[in-house]
Structure 1
Amino acid sequence: MSINSPATTAAERDSILSCLQEDIDHLPNALARIAKYILENPEKVLHHSVAELGSFSGSGEASIVRLCRQIGFSGFRDFKLALAGEIGRPSTNPKSRDAALQALHETMAQNLGIAHGNTDLEKLEKVGAALAASRRVDLYGAGMSGITAELLAYRLLRVGLTALAFRDANMAHEVANGLGTGCVAIGFSISGLSLDTIQFLKSARSAGAVTIAITNRARSPLVEAADFTLLASGLHDRPIGGTLTPMVGKIFVIESLMLALSKVMEESLAK
């Protein structure tokens, strides 16, 4: 099933979650926020009204109905019935533990390969130069992205830079008042749709800081708020919030960035 080619029968709806995951990168932002929330919270969605889903996803009720119709359902109620059946459906291809481990290995290796393919050496060098010259680096991410923000902050502190990582949106915005020229702000978001992370980068840019987005989605409001974007592994994990595998690509980006930063710092010392 494809969002661009709505399903005509229930039999064609093999996996609602897979469909949303594969096409989220091509959806308008309002619909993408809904898809992201559904992928991260499929069980909760079964108990939400259309108004509640709109509130939690940050989108309007009309957008929810539009998304449901776009993927082949008459409305939200029809969608929830199908989703309930999918969540409760036993696997048709049960895997042994060895096969499951092999599949996990392949997924993580694939994510690393995609992240490597997305590497832009020139952009890494520019970001590395901005970090090396910075008097302060603020990093923000929500949920799992907050963990990767803390990992990069740790790596930056180890090389002598002043780095602050936040997972609390209010604190990040309050402290961001001290940002300005000569500072760097880095926002982490798998989907690029996290409203607090977008606002963090927008505020930092308004204050004069260099803004950097580390994300898995090439087209997003977060990217629009960034001076530089470093892409990780793409939106291929199902569901987005269900495993740690989306972190693999981001860790590759972090270590690639640290290599670029080390090069800049070594060249500065050699002068």
Structure 2
Amino acid sequence: MLPNLHASLPSLRRAELAVAQVVLAQPDAVVGDSIAQLAAKAEVSEPTVVRFCRAVGCTGFQDFKLRLAQHLAASAARAQAATNAGLALVRDLAPTDSVASATEKVMDRSIGALVRLRDTLDAVALEQAARRLIAAQRVEIIGVGASGSVAVDAHHKLFRLLPSVAASSDAHMQTAAAATLGPGDVMLTISKTGTSAEILDAAIIAREGGACVIAITAARGPLAKLADVLLAVEVDEDTAVHTPMASRLAQLALVDALTVAVGLLSPPETNQRLARIKTALRGRHRITGPEDVPSTLRGDPLPVKDAS
């Protein structure tokens, strides 16, 4: 609930945003509030609170409170399980951290992101995305910033399984590629928040041309609403100071899962394609023993040139 609420902030109206800020600041207190009390804290009307609840995917105030209470209870249970397993609770990095403590926090946050992805991943949507990719005539993969590196990684994996795959982290190239997509094509978009203007523009252009848009992004962001198939990645991560880290690892893991799904669902001739790639690459690994290492790398003396 709370990560989804974070992701929906850019799409909320000003009055609804005031309610969201109160919820994020005091989630435990809000669970016990009446609609009138929450409206008073946010300095908005009660109908605004109801509109806020519907804007974040709930049917009303009681449904919102129920989901919030379930989220807080599940978070407490996960924290207790982590404590029982001997894992430190994930805490924010601080300037006073030592290298050791900062490293521990980074690792804990990465582990938490992967566990959360495993527990929340929609297997039906994953299979649907894999089948769309297999059936596509062309696949364009796009991302910017840290997600751009994930797009490149997705290309590195999927081009081995699919006949026509390209990736780009350049906004102009993404727009041009989107404009050339049509029915039967797929655009795989990758964005942590789903609010990047470049990605949204390309997704809109691709959909206008009739292409399918698959999104690896936050569940409540604008990109999620544009997508034909949503693969949600929700990571509670502050990117105000540093580039996305745990979310990038979650995206990479999801790309791995998607690649495996494509491989499992692909026709038998895909194995022949992979075999040809392996055969072609086998000849690139020529060093099998010390005698195959060039003398200049072994430290052997350079051959003396015959003066005659």
The Cα shift of 1:240 comes to 5.6
From 191, 194, 197, the equivalent of 1:192 is 194
Q: What SS does the corresponding residue of 1:27 show, helix, strand or coil?
A: helix
1:35 corresponds to: none
Q: Which of the two has higher C-alpha Rg?
A: 2
**Equivalent in the alignment of 2:274:** none
Q: Which residues of structure 2 form unaligned runs of 5+?
A: 26-92, 272-308
The percentage of aligned residue pairs carrying the same residue is 26
One-letter identity of the residue aligned with 1:127: A
Pair 1:222-2:223 in alignment: yes
Tell me the alpha carbon deviations over residues 133-152 of structure 1, each in whole angstroms, 9 at most, x when there is no partner: 11110111111111111110
| TM-score between both structures, scaled by the size of structure 2 | 0.57
Give the C-alpha shift of residue 24 in structure 1.
2.4
Moved runs in structure 1, 4+ residues, more than 4 A? Answer: 266-270
Residue 241 of structure 1 and its aligned partner are, at CA, apart by 6.5
- In the comparison of the two structures, how many residue pairs are matched? 199
- Match in the other structure for 1:140: 142
1:158 corresponds in structure 2 to 160
Aligned to 1:248: 249
Alpha-carbon distance between aligned partners in 2 of 1:26 and 1:205, rounded to the nearest angstrom = 22
Offset at residue 26 of structure 1 (A): 4.2
Residues 142 and 167, structure 2, Cα contact 8 Å, conserved in 1 = yes
Query: What secondary structure is seen at the aligned counterpart in 1 of 2:109?
Result: helix
Name the counterpart of 2:263: 262
Aligned 1:113-152 pairs, distance under 5 A: 113-152=115-154
Aligned pair 1:27/2:28, yes or no?
Answer: no
Contact 2:161–2:262 (CA<8 Å) still a contact in 1? no
CA positional deviation for 1:263? 0.8
| Alignment TM-score, normalising by the size of structure 1 | 0.65
Equivalent residue, structure 2, for 1:231: 232
Aligned-residue offset at 1:95:
2.8
Q: CA RMSD in A?
A: 3.0
What letter corresponds to residue 265 of structure 2 in structure 1?
V
CA distance in 1, matches of 2:239, 2:270: 45
Residue in structure 1 matched with residue 111 of structure 2 by the alignment: 109
Unaligned runs of 5+ in 1: 1-18, 32-62, 73-89
Whole-angstrom distance in 2 between the partners of 1:107 and 1:159: 32
